[in-house]
A and B are shown apart, each in its own frame.
Chain A
Amino acid sequence: MTAIAPHASRTSTDVLRLSGPGRPGHLDPICVDDPATAQLARLSTRCLFGYVGDPDPLSWRPGTPVADLAAAVPSIYNAGVGASNRSLVVMLRPGVRWDTTPHRPVTAHDVVRGIKRLGNPVRRPAALPYLTAMIRGMAEFCAGYAELPPDATAAELAAYQDDHDIAGLLVLDDETVVFELTRPALDLPHLLALPCTAPAPAEYDAFVPGSAELRAHLRSTGPYRPIPGEPSRWEPNPAWRAESDPVRSRHLSGIRVDPGPADAGELARQVRAGTIDLAWNAEVTGPAGEPVNDPAYALDPCLVLNVRDLAVRRAVAAAIDQDVRAAVADIAVTAEPGRHALVASSIVPPGNDGHLPDHPGFHPGENRRPDSTLTLVHRGTGTDGAVAGTCAAALRRAGIEVRLAERDAGQEWDIALTSLHPAWTQENSRVFVQALAEGYAPVRPIVDRAMDTAADPTTATTAWREAEQRLLDDGVVVPLLFRTRCAPPLTSDRVLDAVTLPSLAHEVDLTALRVRRDVP
């Protein structure tokens, strides 16, 4: 992949134009936890490992991690992995620099800083449990970090990070980090491809994670960088070199994301008219086809319950029967024909490790209706309102009073309509079950057993399925649909090389895009 030659002329027509509802989220790596923001973060944030798209929809490559900031994926062939798979040696790729002044190499210390930041008490990424379960000493580090107040200053946060080490992160020199694990982690390269694990430069110690101040001082290792003061604009990063980046290219003079309508039809009209190149944070696709090559479906949508009473949770789960799911499927398919939908009776969707076809589903147990009204929250975008309404109606028919509300920070809720997209699609046994088990203590010992036996697929699979069944039967999660894209995103006529990535929930990799200059 090569960048445009420095002396090639660039015009404003080389700027990629995106538009859609909402605003880009904070690009601090630990704040990147939704596909739309991850799509933009990829422009400026590199991780130790990453994924590369492929125009062939049958290709396995987009789901396989490759070395990004790392020089190579650790293996026994490069002395990067030992026999027990509990020690991984990662050597950094030379020539990668921060867009600081002057440009400065990314070092092993930046890698460790990036991992340490995950445990801050102000804003913790949802993926943190994946790492605390594996990296030696990280759980203890994060437990201590959590004792700082949520309004701790940047100086206090940095002091904690400086004064405390994660025992299983060893910096051998500026270019080498060793990850020591408490259990074999066959998926560690995938974890270290998550945006939140990106290295952080020393400058970030001066800012509270996710703060407005940090937003104005973000640093880039990718081909583009946010323009300070213009959070929805990106310009080429002068510190980036194509020869040091096997994952991304740079073919544009800039990217912009403008506010746009939530209506997919209107966005599609603008794309076809060439007013914009691509929709952002919205489902706007070309003609639908069949999903190809066993794609990894998402659990999309589902209900996650925040109710202490087991009997009440079971009552909610029992009220959502196959008729309700069929109704939800009708809504989803009508509104988003670019996604293939299957009625879900289990948690792990098809195409993911541990999926069981013909899963028996939820086993009804003793249940009772709640004494008070339950609050069901949803994001308020796309089909959320209609799906939430359908579920609420089913619950009311079962004698459960429900109040609907759009999700808001700090709001109390009992049921959340949400979705779980696999952040990685290979070696991903724990992506769904571990994430849901984090909030439910009775399942955690089963999850621990599954992770401890990762090297033994038969034993591990049995444990994962036991955990999944327990989550279902205890009403921790109520699956509704499995869905996956079966249509490519709609792009304007001038866009070329629009490949998607499973790690971005099949959004387009903006770093691979080119635009034709002969088309306005």
Chain B
Amino acid sequence: MSQTLTEPGHAGRDIPRSGDGTLGSASWSRIHELFALAPDSVHLNTGTIGVLPHEVLDTQDRVTREWTGGLMDVYPPGMYAEHRAAIGRSFGVDQDEMVISHNATEGMARVIHGLDLHAGDEVITTSHECYSVLSNFNLVRNRHGISLKVLTLPTGHDVRAEEIIEIFERAVTPRTKVLAFFGISLFTGMLMPIRALCELAHRHGLTTVIDGALMPGLLDCDMRALGADFISCSGSKFQCGPLGTGLLYARNKVHPEHNPLPLPTFWPVISTWYPMMGSPPPRTRTSVESDNLGDYLQSAGSASIARGAALAKACQIWDEIGRDRIQRRTTALGEHARSRIAERFGIEAMYSPGADERLRSPLVAWNPFREPRDAWNVRKIHEYTSRLAAEHRIWVRWTEFDVPGSPHQHYAARVAPHIYNDESEIDHAVTVMARLAEEMS
């Protein structure tokens, strides 16, 4: 559905560039020009795919050409050592803990299949996970006989962080080994109380696996300080890297102030550099790594050097703009969208939390139709978002999820603003969406 195109003739324009020290103080309208946005469109679906900065496109193109048909050794740069070090610093972790993956799904799958789980072990997760999380845990259930407890979290304006934590705490049993949850829900936009849930896991000796697909590029997060064991992220959503990029954080040292638990037993499936005989050294119990887990996970045959370079460039741009600044900006845009949507559609239409600031992300999901029962009409929501795209060049998406106590599968429209959007775009989009919804209601 995305129609984002490179603007013609951008090479001759005064496009902002990284490295000249100006991005940190550039206005948001100036930063808007960084991006290869389709003209006359409103892209409010960064939760699915972000818009590449021109420089990222250029990097990918340039590096691809540099490494095409050459006689150079492609393997060392394919380990992305410097990129991983730089990106790791951006997220508060070290190079041996950071992997450039192909996407969040791949990272989650490799974590799930690398966990040391056996028959009877219990994993707690939610029904609001990306389907690839549930499918991979189901695979482990079928293969190894684990028990999978799937919680359906509450939705709506009034949800509070304490409710979420209590639901997880009640679900923990002596057989529980893993808590796996999303960082930001792609379905409802809820931001999880990540640190609080990790502390819950610490109290019970559990391994934490976070689907952080929507986190990088949106949140200024210190992955180590969150206290999780694994966080798998997308590089092509809010981080605005190319499709086919992701980031995987795998805890590889113990910083007790953040996570006092020993490192979990973990099998880095899909690895060229895992020893061909014998085992790696025992996992460290200190803040000094005993081996480079990131290298094990990174080494998976020939890699696209351009892909890693392009993602690294996107991360560099983000660092120069300022990740905290970006988070404040996207939060403000999200609040603007939330308030406009609530005004036009009603608080009762909202699936995203609103009352508890701790659970608010810039993603907003709601039922756009007047009739509550239209919230379980997949044909209607699909037509709605299709018409927004076809008739108004407004890109949003619809999502589907379970709601506790409801027998229906619910569907919602979802907006996901980012730093290349502004308040006027959001206002325009909300006006159009309200008018179309009224027409279709």
Contacts and interface: CB of A to CB of B under 8 A. Distances in A.
Nearest to A181: B407
Contact of A136 (B378, B382, B407): B407
Contact of A84 (B147, B380, B402): B402
A251 to B, nearest CB: 37
Nearest to B146: A458
Nearest to A76: B131
Contacts of A264: none
**Which applies to chain B's interface (DSSP): helix, strand, loop or mixed?**
mixed
Nearest to A77: B131
A173 B382 CA distance: 13
A170 B376 contact: yes
Nearest to B373: A170
Contact of B378 (A76, A79, A84, A180): A79
A84 B152 contact: yes
B407 A168 contact: yes
Interface string B126-139: 01110100110010
A82 B141 contact: no
B407 A172 contact: no
B428 to A, nearest CB: 28
A79 B148 CA distance: 23
B395 interface: no
A82 B379 contact: no
A456 B401 CA distance: 21
A83 B119 contact: no
A178 interface: yes
A82 B377 contact: no
A456 B144 CA distance: 12
A248 to B, nearest CB: 28
B400 to A, nearest CB: 6
B127 A458 contact: no
A259 interface: no
Contacts of B380: 172
B407 A180 contact: yes
A167 B407 contact: yes
Interface in B98-139: 119, 127-129, 131, 134-135, 138
Nearest to A81: B409
B400 A84 contact: no
A176 interface: yes
Given A76-B131, A83-B401, A457-B142, A176 B407 contact: no
B145 interface: yes
B327 to A, nearest CB: 29
Contacts of B402: 82-84, 86
A180 B410 CA distance: 12
B408 interface: yes
Interface residues on A, range: 20 to 34
Interface in B224-262: none
B215 to A, nearest CB: 21
Interface in B40-91: none
Nearest to A167: B407
A345 interface: no
Contacts of A136: 407
Interface in A156-178: 167-168, 170, 172-173, 176, 178
B150 to A, nearest CB: 8
Contacts of B152: 84
Contact of B147 (A82, A172, A456): A456
A79 B397 CA distance: 13
A82 B400 contact: yes
B141 A457 contact: yes
Given A83-B134, A456-B141, A457-B141, A180 B379 contact: no
Nearest to A457: B142
A87 interface: yes
B376 A84 contact: no
A457 B379 CA distance: 33
A24 B401 CA distance: 47
B379 to A, nearest CB: 5
A483 to B, nearest CB: 30
B148 A456 contact: yes
Contacts of B407: 86, 136, 167-168, 180
B14 to A, nearest CB: 43
Interface in B137-190: 138, 141-142, 145, 147-148, 150, 152
A456 B127 CA distance: 15
Interface in A440-466: 455-459
B376 A82 contact: no
Contacts of A173: 379
A89 interface: yes
Contacts of A172: 377-380
Contacts of B142: 457
B415 to A, nearest CB: 19
Interface in B351-384: 376-380, 382
A257 B84 CA distance: 74
A170 B129 CA distance: 26
Contacts of B376: 170, 178
Contacts of A89: 378, 409
Nearest to B147: A456
A82 B148 contact: no
Contacts of A459: 147
B409 A87 contact: yes
Contacts of A170: 376
Contacts of A456: 141, 147-148
A210 B377 CA distance: 35
A213 B131 CA distance: 50
Contact of A83 (B129, B378, B379): B129
A234 B126 CA distance: 53
Nearest to B144: A458
A496 to B, nearest CB: 41
A423 B252 CA distance: 53
Nearest to A170: B376
Contacts of B135: 76
A48 to B, nearest CB: 17
Interface string A55-97: 0000000000000000000001001001110110100000000
Given A89-B378, A136-B407, A83 B131 contact: yes
B248 to A, nearest CB: 23
A89 B376 CA distance: 10
A90 to B, nearest CB: 11
A471 to B, nearest CB: 26
Contacts of B379: 172-173, 176
Contacts of A168: 407
A456 B141 CA distance: 7
Given A82-B400, A82-B409, A167-B407, A458 B377 contact: no
Nearest to A458: B145
Nearest to A136: B407
A219 to B, nearest CB: 27
A286 to B, nearest CB: 39
Nearest to A180: B407
Contacts of B131: 76, 83
A176 B382 CA distance: 13
Nearest to A173: B379
A317 to B, nearest CB: 33
A87 B380 CA distance: 16
A339 B324 CA distance: 74
Contacts of B141: 456-458
Contacts of A176: 378-379
A185 B270 CA distance: 34
Contacts of B150: 83-84
10 contacts: A83-B131, A83-B150, A83-B402, A84-B127, A84-B152, A86-B402, A173-B379, A456-B141, A456-B148, A458-B119
Given A167-B407, A178-B409, 12 more contacts: A79-B378, A79-B382, A84-B150, A172-B378, A173-B379, A176-B378, A176-B379, A180-B409, A455-B138, A455-B148, A458-B141, A458-B147
Shortest Cβ-Cβ A-B pairs, 5 listed:
A87-B409, A82-B409, A83-B127, A172-B379, A458-B145
Interface of A: 76, 79, 82-84, 86-87, 89, 136, 167-168, 170, 172-173, 176, 178, 180, 455-459
